[in-house]
Amino acid sequence: MQFGALLAGAIVKETIFSWPGMDRLTIQAIPNLDYYLAQGCILAIGLTYVGVNFLTDVL
């Protein structure tokens, strides 16, 4: 469950330190109306979250 909190805080960290990353890319894609990029980034973040939780349950 801590990994989800880590992913949620990534947007703030990327914005404050100006680090390029997937969350910042997602935030920039939304105002540019790049729906495919935004959907792909959200899907990748969601699959990562589900995958890590699955691995945690298996272990």
Nearest-angstrom CA–CA distance, 32 and 6: 26
Q: Which run of H or E residues covers position 22?
A: helix 22-29
Q: What confidence score (pLDDT) does residue 33 get?
A: 92
Residue in the structure block whose two tokens are 């691995």: 55
Domain with 41, as residue range(s), is: 2-58
DSSP 8-state symbol, 32: T
Nearest-angstrom CA–CA distance, 36 and 42: 10
Our count of domains for the chain comes to 1
Q: What confidence score (pLDDT) does residue 1 get?
A: 60
Nearest-angstrom CA–CA distance, 37 and 25: 8
Q: What confidence score (pLDDT) does residue 46 get?
A: 85
pLDDT tens for the 59 residues of the chain, in order: 666 666 666 667 777 777 777 777 888 888 999 999 999 988 988 888 888 889 888 98
